[in-house]
Chain A
Amino acid sequence: MPTPLVVSDVAKSFTMHLRDGIKLPVVAGVSFSIRAGECTVLGGPSGAGKSSILKMLYGNYAVDEGQIIVKHDDGLIDLATASPRTVLAIRRQTIGYVSQFLRTVPRVSALDVVAEPLVERGEDRESARGKARALLAQLNLPEKLWALPPATFSGGEQQRVNIARGFITEHPILLLDEPTASLDARNRDVVIELIAAKKATGVALLGIFHDHDVREAVADRIIDVTAFAPGKIAA
């Protein structure tokens, strides 16, 4: 099975210059790969570094050591050392990301927030909006909210907008940071369906799910992040 993303020996720490330069190691020796058509889940307690790993894979957090090899544009690229411009191209074409919280933009409607990733990739605005409508309907977001900016929405409504925005594109790799945290059972089931549909089209998913039922329903493999605790590495 193709592995579009391979992580080897990645380490990450934060240096707090405002706190006398103390160094907080987060993870070390992170090595795994994800496969097309599968949903891999990062497991472990809060603070183990799951979100940090996802953020490194999206080029959001800097990587101290190691490699993150991504299949991009018929080549292999090390995301850990790629230029900002390359990371942007990878985000546009190869790696999608559903963050934990929606970052709202003033005055932009929920519909356009969802359609935007497609418009950025050159799709016609009206056809992008059509797909956005379909996804928002599938996620049971009341139609009267579509034309409003999501800043005033409830947590669950914002998260559904965020999920729709992340799932609307056809990225071959999709990272999910607790997409179901504030959803009710009905909408959790919709997300499970959406993940199954992505798997069926050969997308490689990597996610964090605290919800036991969702994890059971979507996970093909679970990677225990506590194995990457910085103290655990000998040598």
Chain B
Amino acid sequence: MTDEPLLRVSALSKFYGSRVGCDNVSFDLWPGEVLAVVGESGSGKTTLLNCLSTRLLPSSGTASYRMRDGQFRELYRMSEAERRFLMRTDWGFVHQNPADGLRMTVSAGANVGERLMAVGDRHYGKIRATAVDWLSRVEIDEDRIDDEPRAFSGGMRQRLQIARNLVTGPRLVFMDEPTGGLDVSVQARLLDLLRGLVTDLGLAAIVVTHDLAVARLLSQRMMVMKDGRVVESGLTDGVLDDPRAPYTQLLVSSILQV
């Protein structure tokens, strides 16, 4: 375990005109940690995720990332090309809607292989073998490798999107409601898969979700957001078992028991 965080976020804010997206968010993320960001729609959690993954530029604040050479780089001062390279190699982004993260009209194998080619792999046989390996890790049969994701179910598409993101061995993965819109049985399978992959690969991840059960299963740490601000943060089980902020108490007490 290293003593330095992977990502340092300080006083990050994003305003849309006079409207607050996220306001004064600070935290550190260490390698291997999964941080859940929870809150209801409009709480600013997706804005925060988009700022961190540099899909959006913040209005103020800083975020620095420890590159593979150990040097911290300020994300918002990198060139567009550098940021794109980071996104293709060291980071992953799992969208709620797989169609946003996949190319729907090329084969499953090509979806996975494309990320490998982006980092310089050129050997067709090797790329295909890695693609087959990753499809099996996300429980997609090898004989579906030449099918387009259009022909896949929602759960399969989401698993394919995860394979596409993880194939390059990223160190940090952003996930936006990764189980949103899936049936509960499909969700359980996906969560189990994600849990295993995150543990085996030692990934750091930031998972945005409104589902506290998903946060409990996947994350060790949690931030609760409301109106763009972090109202409570801490260990996931601590926040859920002993919520202290009024809003967190409301969220936790609103969970339906089955």
Cβ–Cβ contact B238 & A18, under 8 A: no
Q: Given that A62-B242, A84-B220, A107-B189 are known contacts, is A16 also in contact with B249, CB under 8 Å in the complex? A: yes
Instruction: Specify which chain A residues have a CB less than 8 angstroms from the CB of B30 in the assembled complex.
Output: 85
Binds A, one of B91-99, B163-171, B191-199: B191-199
Task: Look across to chain B and name the residue whose beta carbon is closest to the beta carbon of A56.
Answer: B242
Is A120 located at the chain interface by the 8 A CB criterion? yes
Given that A18-B249, A60-B241, A61-B242 are contacting pairs, would A105 and B235 also be in contact in the complex, using a CB cutoff of 8 Å? Answer: no
Q: Which one of B1, B33, B244, B246 contacts A62 once the chains associate, using CB atoms below 8 Å?
A: B244
Q: What is the interface residue range for chain A against chain B?
A: 20 to 34
Most chain A CB within a 10 A radius of its CB, from B30, B221, B242, B253: B242
Given contacts A59-B238, A106-B191, contact A15 B244 (CB under 8 A): yes
Cα separation A85 to B245 with both chains bound (whole Å): 21
Task: Tell me, rounded to whole Å, the shortest Cβ–Cβ distance linking A5 to chain B.
Answer: 18
Contact residues on B (Cβ < 8 Å of other chain), bracket: 20 to 34
Contact with B along A79-117 (1 / 0, CB 8 A): 000001101110000000000000001111000000000
For B246, what are the chain A residues with a Cβ–Cβ distance below 8 Å? 17-18
Q: Is A107 within 8 A of B235, CB to CB? A: no
A-contact 0/1 string along B247-258, CB 8 Å cutoff: 001100100000
- The 30 sampled A-B contact pairs (Cβ below 8 Å) are A15-B244, A16-B249, A17-B246, A17-B250, A18-B246, A18-B250, A55-B241, A55-B242, A59-B235, A60-B235, A60-B238, A60-B241, A61-B238, A62-B234, A62-B238, A62-B244, A84-B220, A84-B221, A84-B235, A85-B30, A87-B235, A88-B220, A89-B1, A105-B195, A106-B191, A106-B192, A107-B188, A107-B189, A119-B199, A120-B199
Residues of B within 8 A of A (CB): 1, 30, 33, 188-189, 191-192, 195, 199, 217, 220-221, 234-235, 237-238, 241-242, 244-246, 249-250, 253
| With A87-B235, A105-B217, A119-B199 already in contact, 7 other A-B pairs whose C-beta atoms are closer than 8 Å | A15-B244, A17-B246, A55-B241, A85-B33, A89-B1, A106-B192, A107-B188
